[in-house]
Structure 1
Amino acid sequence: MIAQLTGTLVSVRGMDVVLDVHGVGYVVSVPLSTLDVVSRRAENVTLLTVLQVREDSMTLFGFATDAERESFYLLTNVQGIGGRTAIGILSATSIADLRKNLVAGNAAALQRLPGVGKKTAERMIIELREKMIGVVPERQGAEGADAVLAAGNDAIDDAVSALLALGFTRAAAEKAVSTVVDADTSLRGGPVDAIIRKALRN
Structure 2
Amino acid sequence: MSVAPTLEVETALWDRRPLVIGMDEVGRGALAGPVSVGAFALTRCDVVPEGLRDSKAMTARARERTAPIVREWGIAAVGHASAAEIDAVGIMAALAIAGRRALEELHAAGVDVVSSALLLDGSHDWLSPRLRRPLAITLRPKADRDCGSVAGAACVAKVERDALMVAHDAEHPGYGWASNKGYAAAVHMDAIRTLGPTRLHRRTWLKSDGAVSASAAA
TM-score scaled by length of structure 2: 0.24
TM-score scaled by length of structure 1: 0.25
Considering only CA atoms, is the larger Rg found in Structure 1 or Structure 2?
A: 2
Relative contact order (C-alpha < 8 Å, sep 6+): which is higher? Answer: 2
